Structure 1
Amino acid sequence: MTDWDAIVIGSGLGGLTCAAYLTAAGKRTLVLEQNQVAGGCSQVFRRKGNKYEFDVGMHYIGECHSGGRMTAALRGLGLEGRVEFRRLDPDGHSTLVFPGLTFRVPSDWDTYLARLIEAFPGQERGLRLCVGILRRIGAELRTAELPKRSLPSLLRFARKAPTLASVGQLPLTWLFAACRLSPLARAVLVGESGDYGAPPSRTSVALHGGFLDHYLTGGAWYPRGGGQVVPAHLIDVIQTHGGRVRTKARVTRILIENGAATGVELEGGETIHAPIVVSGADLKRTYLDLVGREHLSPATVARVERYRMALPLFSVYLGLDIDLADRLPNSTYWCYPDADVEGAYQAAYEGRIPDEMPIFLTSASTKDPGNPHAAPPGHSTLEVMCLVPQGTFWPGGDGYSRDPEYLALKEALAERLIDRATTVLPELRRHIVWQEASSPVTHERFTLSSLGSCYGIEMAADQIGPRRPGPRTEIPGLWLTGASTTWGNGIVGAVSSGLGAAGAILRRPLSAEVKAGAVIADPAKLTPIGPDWDPLAVSKPSSPLRRRTARA
């Protein structure tokens, strides 16, 4: 077909969720993905003859408990029971490693506070005040509706969310100073800030309170079967309800006629028409490249140009000939060389990588040991990553992957990350049988994200909440979803953005409906899942393997 009810650009979780809800509600929806695998940052890849499977961005998720947003969003698509999650260690879903202190982050507010006081007994009063404010903000974010730009709405919001309204927009550094916390106590409190990619000076109290509540209320989780499971099931909803997902289909232009979006043009000249176009692609590229400045107001162009992208990641993927379940708990690791978290971000902003940088370390085979695709018996995978500078720090352009300067920089940084990882696994180097690294240039190549950022525009205090774009644009028929929208980055943020965008397009309160238990899709239409079901094959919709799997 060349004409659809809706077209979604990009197959990240925001785009797939939006398309799934649109098709479930009766809109024939086409998803266009330029990569050969759908899923965006939630996809996986396999190496060494498919022996090892690595996650690009699905590392751990919150709100997968019975009352969580992720649970509700999947249930609304008929996926309850089809997508299962394994819980990370509730006594320490994350482990923060500092010189002289190892702090395990428990999945519970009361235990979290008690553990902080145990680690810093001389700061009990300040810690109780600080954690109390963050906890109240988390609770208010779960129950309060964000205000509209009217005085009555703002007054209602201030009554229902007094802590959020009074101190939510202040920076974390203000809260830490008011509570007179030591540098190390501050570092522990923001030890997982790499999840949203902003330093304490740029992070609002509201953002960090919501982030902590995300995990401390319902725990941290990982999808059974690996990260590709979630996009694969969303694709199944789309394609069993009258929609389609096309890979290797790069959109080069959003068609604008009489001031409204009417479809897209693909690389090669193919045009496809629809009265609804949803972009889950990079925000800056959507506006400045796909739409074009000539179709936008000067104010919109200026605002989009001002948005700052979040810092990108450098990742090292390792296949190991040992079983890490014998050596590591079911926990993620954040390893810091010192307590100066702010300084590590500042170095990246200045285009520097310090000699010793903080790293994030996680193992999919430890989080889901039953996944047959993760690693062979007795083997494991390990992913090590860090935040790095943007832009010209990384040699790019055509043939970048063969550029000697780029290769030398990439190899040197990979070795430094492995050295840092040996602080957790001293014998690591002896067991590496596969090693690969990806840089921001790699990420930009596969996702077309500006400056290789996987988090969209930075989650800084001046770029969160109502300061981020919502789903509606100034161009009739054009809508937005994804990490750069109001809902923010992360797995649940992207899924929530897709649900929110679909609700706005359909002019119905979908988020409230699914939260109340509504199921929009028809579970009876979904493809039966057998023991040989492979989510990666399902996520390559144009491949013969996908068709064979569907028939089976």
Structure 2
Amino acid sequence: MAEKFENIVVGAGFAGLTCAGYLAKSGQRTLLLEKGSVIGGRAAAHPANGYNVVMHLPLIMTSLNGGGGYGWANAAKDFGADIKLHFSREPRLYLNGVEDPYMTIPKCITTEAAVDWMESFLKKARPDLWSNSCKSELYPMVDEILHKPFKEMCEEWDEVSVKDWVQSRSMDKGIEYVFTSLMACFCWTADAEFTWNYGSAAKGFVMLRIWIGNQGAMSVAIPDLQHGICEPIAEAITTNFGCDIRTNSEVIKVIIEDNRAVGVEIKDGNGTIKRIEANRVILATTWLDYLKLLETVPPTLLETMKAPLQQKMGGIFLTYQLNNSISLDGAFTLFINPKTGSSIQGGCAQNIEQPWNVPEGKQLIWAYSVRSDADFNRLGLEGIAAEVTQNMELLYPGFNRALESTSPVKGASYPSHYRFSSLPKIRQKSPDVDGLFFAGECTWPMYGQITDGTASTGANVAKLILETDDLAGV
């Protein structure tokens, strides 16, 4: 006889852990399945050249300082998980080719200070676009972003493009540049043209509120995301609420009968296939897995996924091992082409932000570059990697003489930045199949960014299932 649960959650990343934790906390018998051997999904650390490389951006917690999010930080508190954090320094921009190219992204707090900084950014990056009207038109726009209720902002503006949001308020070319360039950084869409036409206004404004509005924080888990956040949450929801978590359990199919999700088929570490039944199935995997897990894709889901499949971007990731002949600043840095407004690359010195993961006497820089599909076709992986490496000497003078080794370049062009675009997202409760839910970075609504936002989708699905707005009281 098949096992039976009230809920099966597929994927033990931030969304799956958060969702499963709240469902188990409510007293519902919940099973969390993870195909990998460890908890954390894409947050898991990867050893490379003797380093414990964590190829992820510093964490973002929108729940701090009145930000209004309800992601993993709130969940960890509600679950009684023991989390330890190292807070990051203020990030900065590097404007390639301009005099005094570095600009710190400050915690402006007030609308006036934020507008002043944005004005200084425009004057430095593109002085030809500055006009006397910029500041007066920027003020109400920035004030609206910083003070709109966070939940409403994330729901109303997530599927609104940067272009549509800006042009409904101003037609000033300088303001267009400010928002396009900053949102290219803050949405992680990088390419200015793509960002202007497709970037999600809400996703970018979440970051603006965190970095400029001081309504959140960047942090790094000690020692890393997997061991410092995901595993403590997993331990807490297992010990405190009886959540059943199984690794090495690959879901190969969601079972749908009479238009209702009734369970899954899994393949365990020994290759054995078995059926597990449930009242509900929550997919907290990457969105591209939906096509593999659903034999017949529900019509609404298929219609939503048609648009993102036509919009491709890509990213590459590199790590550089250096000796200690130069001193690195660990601040997270975004490298911008002022002419176009595109964010060419980003990264930081891991030996400063996470010194416990780097051997003594060595330094480690991790870097990424998000590029358009056209760039991938024109330059290829190695060509983009060469540009990233060339820029390193500008970011870190002396880089070339200190460099000891470079990791193999990894990356691809695919619909990876759908989650940060204004294209329609997958609704968290399936309108087509009873008992089928979706959590993760490409679902709507998401109250935050990166890990915090992903966890918020798991929390929101738990709210839908439990029919409550107060998860803390569950």
TM superposition score category, shorter chain reference = 0.7 to 0.9
CA deviation digits over 1:331-390, x for unaligned, max 9?
21111234313xx5xxxxxxxxxxxx8111223332243xx2x10223232111111355
The one-letter amino acid paired with 1:21 is: Y
The 3-state SS of whatever aligns with 1:199 is: helix
**Is contact 2:328-2:349 (8 Å) kept?**
no
Structure 1 residue 409, shift from structure 2 partner:
4.8
One of 439, 442, 454 as aligned partner of 1:481:
439
Name the structure where strand makes up a greater proportion of residues. Answer: 2
Distance 1:314 1:421 in 2: 15
The 5 Å alignment of 1:459-470 reads 459-463=420-424, 468-470=426-428
CA deviation digits over 1:126-157, x for unaligned, max 9?
1342253133134214264888xxxxxxxxx9
Structure 1 residue 25, shift from structure 2 partner:
1.8
Structure 1 residue 321, shift from structure 2 partner:
2.5
The one-letter amino acid paired with 1:195 is: W
CA deviation digits over 1:255-280, x for unaligned, max 9?
11222111111244222222221101
Q: Which residue in the other structure is 2:403 paired with?
A: 432
Tell me whether 260-269 or 129-138 shows the greater mean CA deviation.
129-138
How much is the aligned-residue C-alpha RMSD, in angstroms? 3.4
**Is contact 2:347-2:367 (8 Å) kept?**
yes
The 3-state SS of whatever aligns with 1:501 is: helix
Identity across the alignment (%): 17
Q: Which residue in the other structure is 2:283 paired with?
A: 279
The one-letter amino acid paired with 1:291 is: L
Cα distance change, pair 418–392 in 1 and its aligned pair in 2 (3 A) = closer
Q: Which residue in the other structure is 1:367 paired with?
A: 353
The 5 Å alignment of 1:61-80 reads 61-63=60-62, 65-68=64-67, 69=69, 70=71, 71-79=73-81
The 3-state SS of whatever aligns with 1:195 is: coil
Cα distance change, pair 497–205 in 1 and its aligned pair in 2 (3 A) = closer
Structure 1 residue 452, shift from structure 2 partner:
5.2
TM-score normalised according to structure 2 size: 0.81
**Is contact 2:314-2:415 (8 Å) kept?**
yes
Structure 1 residue 391, shift from structure 2 partner:
11
Q: Which residue in the other structure is 2:344 paired with?
A: 358
Tell me whether 60-69 or 254-263 shows the greater mean CA deviation.
60-69
**Is contact 2:17-2:234 (8 Å) kept?**
yes
The 5 Å alignment of 1:230-249 reads 230-240=229-239, 241-249=241-249
Distance 1:88 1:23 in 2: 33
CA deviation digits over 1:269-301, x for unaligned, max 9?
222222221101233431x331222x634x543
Q: Could you tell me which runs of 5 or more consecutive residues in structure 2 were left unpaired when the two chains were aligned.
A: 124-129
**Is contact 2:91-2:105 (8 Å) kept?**
yes
The 3-state SS of whatever aligns with 2:394 is: coil
Q: Which residue in the other structure is 2:48 paired with?
A: 47
The 3-state SS of whatever aligns with 1:30 is: strand
Cα distance change, pair 323–10 in 1 and its aligned pair in 2 (3 A) = farther
Structure 1 residue 168, shift from structure 2 partner:
8.4
The one-letter amino acid paired with 1:221 is: M
Q: Which residue in the other structure is 1:490 paired with?
A: 450
Q: Which residue in the other structure is 2:30 paired with?
A: 29
Cα distance change, pair 238–434 in 1 and its aligned pair in 2 (3 A) = farther
Distance 1:390 1:409 in 2: 10
Structure 1 residue 244, shift from structure 2 partner:
3.0
CA deviation digits over 1:215-270, x for unaligned, max 9?
32334321341222221222112322322333332211101122211111124422
The 5 Å alignment of 1:331-410 reads 331-341=331-341, 358-369=344-355, 372=356, 374-389=357-372, 409-410=380-381
Distance 1:493 1:431 in 2: 37
Cα distance change, pair 200–264 in 1 and its aligned pair in 2 (3 A) = same
Q: Which residue in the other structure is 1:354 paired with?
A: none
The one-letter amino acid paired with 1:361 is: G
One of 218, 222, 235 as aligned partner of 1:221:
218
Structure 1 residue 98, shift from structure 2 partner:
3.0
The 3-state SS of whatever aligns with 2:197 is: coil
Q: Are residue 135 (structure 1) and residue 96 (structure 2) matched?
A: no
Q: Which residue in the other structure is 1:505 paired with?
A: 465
Distance 1:15 1:130 in 2: 39
**Is contact 1:97-1:333 (8 Å) kept?**
no
Distance 1:319 1:385 in 2: 15
**Is contact 2:189-2:195 (8 Å) kept?**
no
Structure 1 residue 411, shift from structure 2 partner:
4.1
Distance 1:310 1:128 in 2: 37
Distance 2:298 2:106 in 1: 47
Distance 2:221 2:303 in 1: 44
